Amino acid sequence: MATTMKGPGLFLAQFAGAEAPFDTLENITKWAAGLGYKGVQIPTFVTHLFDLDKAFESDAYIDEVKGICADASVEITELSTHLQGQLVAVNPAYDLAFDAFAPERVHGNPKARQEWAVDQMMKAAVVSRKLGLDNSVSFTGSLAFPYLYPWPQRPEGLIEETFAELGRRWTPILNAYEDQGVNVGYEIHPGEDVFDGATFEMFVDAVGGHKRAQINYDPSHFLLQQMDYLAFIDLYHDRICAYHVKDAEFNPDGRQGVYSGYQSWVNRAARFRSLGDGQVDFKAIFSKLAQYNYDSWAVLEWECCLKSPEQGAAEGAPFIAQHIIETTDKAFDDFAGGDVDKATINKILGL
């Protein structure tokens, strides 16, 4: 049966702030609904919008969150654990930078930071189920990414051991999500050990083909790597459980290419853009996802080197709504054949 995706949804992380309407879940959901969004993806690492620990401990708080979203006439699309997932696996080269993603009490203590992150991931599985959610979105973390480019040559076995270790760290987490009937949609993203289709396959192998290891599809990261983001859907559509609608552009020149020369965002050859301002072929993507009966949410993840977030959010809802395809079970020329008996069919075939 043909299915229609849901949307438009909005990832709240890029908009959360100290001032209204971005300061509380009540205010930001009403703001999002006013722009035409029907769903919100809630970051579990922005505690003034959503307190994951409190949600794990208190059913009353769960009911409060549900009520706030219902009053704003928006659904919760997924919970995001991007930052906690990142901290499940951190190469020591990133320790200082990634400490900022964790509570101060675990700074300078990678073991304690990882334990905190795993606990957060486990809690998010339970809370997702309490909220009635089937999907969540996250990152895999990075152990091998500093060795992305093979110069000097990587030590033999380094990549194999990296993915074996990712498997050891993530399999218990994925088992907890299986217990709750919730998928983890990994955002396939440069900086993560899982950044393209090949590395995703390696990760799935490392977790024993775990069915809860899914994909949060984001074409912007594929365009910036110069990948075929439509063929990616053909290859992995059965693992896509979430969709970040995010635009990007790639304009290489004689000075820089994919790596963008350490330049600021506005001066990079590869840069994120607001919806419709980049080079991603969203008509083709929405068509391809409809072809494979994707029935989950289309969620705007806004980032742009030029446009304001407020303008980007205002333009994003109608952009997504206009691209969602209302799918049909009826072919365009079904009327031509009609119901015929076997004798008629035999006559047509000259039998």
What is the pLDDT, as a whole number, of residue 1? 59
Query: How far is residue 82 from each of residues 13, 21, 139, 185, 316, measured CA to CA in Å?
Result: 10, 23, 5, 10, 22
Measure the CA–CA gap between 339 and 344, rounded to whole angstroms.
10
Residue 334 — pLDDT band, cuts 50, 70, 90? low
Largest CA distance in the chain: 82
Give per-residue pLDDT as tens, 223-274. Answer: 999 999 999 999 999 999 999 999 999 999 999 999 999 999 999 999 999 9
User: Which structure tokens are listed for 30?
Assistant: 């009403």
What is the pLDDT, as a whole number, of residue 343? 85
| % pLDDT > 70, the chain | 97
What is the pLDDT, as a whole number, of residue 339? 67
What is the pLDDT, as a whole number, of residue 328? 87
Under a CB-based contact definition with an 8 Å cutoff, are residues 216 and 241 in contact? yes
- CB-based contacts of 324, cutoff 8 Å, min separation 6: 4, 5, 7, 8, 286, 298
Average pLDDT over residues 306-334: 91
Categorise residue 249: left if φ over 0, alpha if ψ from -120 to 50, beta otherwise: beta
Does the pLDDT value for residue 331 go beyond 70?
Answer: no
User: Which structure tokens are listed for 111?
Assistant: 């073991």
Does the pLDDT value for residue 342 go beyond 60?
Answer: yes
| % pLDDT > 90, the chain | 92
Q: What's the mean per-residue pLDDT of the chain?
A: 96
Q: Is 55 helix (H, G, I), strand (E, B) or coil?
A: helix
Q: Is 183 helix (H, G, I), strand (E, B) or coil?
A: strand
Give per-residue pLDDT as tens, 108-152. Answer: 999 999 999 999 999 999 999 999 999 999 999 999 999 999 999
DSSP code string of 128-168: HHHTT-SEEEE---BSSGGG-S-SSPPPTTHHHHHHHHHHH
Does the pLDDT value for residue 338 go beyond 70?
Answer: no
Whole-prediction pTM: 0.94
Measure the CA–CA gap between 275 and 182, rounded to whole angstroms.
29
